[in-house]
Amino acid sequence: MGEAALSTFVAALFSMMNPIGNVGIFVGMTTDRDAAEVRKIAWKCALACAVTLLTVIWTGGLLLTFFGITVDELRAAGGIIVMLIGLHMLFNKSGHKTSATETDDAKTRDSIAVVPLAIPIVAGPGTIATVLVAAERHPGLMARVDISLAVILLSILTGLLFAYSKPVAAWLGESGMAVVTRIMGMVLVAIAMGMLASGLTGLIPALAG
């Protein structure tokens, strides 16, 4: 996997996971937990994200084959999904992640690390689509290792930011996290355009002319 492709993937994955912007959500859902429990939830969430995305990287191709989905179809569909999520982030809307009812229900649960924090807030449909497209576009062993390492490092970063979410949120403030979310949304929309164009060109070769 070339440096340019890897850099683009890391930028897309970071924007999609949005660990900085999601700090506010994490703080809101763990406000009544003590510091030790917050750290435990943070690292459990990071582990769940890593396991979910690594599973997609190494077995996602089998699902595509089973359902008869081509890489170009996946790129086009993934581009649309990522673009919609990017637009939501650009306008600082969170409806694409989880509903208010689901969020309220999660607060009453003993463990919120896997659902809804890991899935769908951090490793949601857009994140999964981004990883799956990258893995299928670069099927070589070393490329998938590179993608896996990127996933692991970003999952660790997410766990670290969540573990120290209260001071991070206090330092950034609501406006700071909103700015980060909007910037990540703009990056995602730009990357989504490339995914969609690439997929459509593969599906309809005449567009390339």
**Digit-coded pLDDT (tens) for 160-201:** 999 999 898 888 888 887 888 788 788 878 888 988 898 899
pLDDT by residue (tens digit) across 40-63? 999 999 999 999 999 999 998 888
Q: Is 109 exposed, middle or buried (0-12, 13-18, 19+ CB in 10 A)?
A: exposed
pTM: predicted TM-score of the whole model, two decimal places: 0.79
Greatest mean pLDDT among 27-36, 89-98, 127-136, 175-184 lies in: 127-136
**Domains defined for the chain, CATH in brackets:** 3-202 (1.20.1250)
What pLDDT does residue 5 have?
A: 92
Contact 127/53 with Cβ under 8 angstroms?
yes
CA atoms of 141 and 155, how far apart (whole Å):
21
Q: How many CB atoms lie within 10 A of CB 129?
A: 24
Range 66-93 average pLDDT: 84
Q: Model confidence at 109, in pLDDT bands (50, 70, 90)?
A: low
Least Cα distance to 165 among 63, 67, 3, 25 occurs for 25
Q: Evaluate if residue 85 carries a pLDDT over 90.
A: no
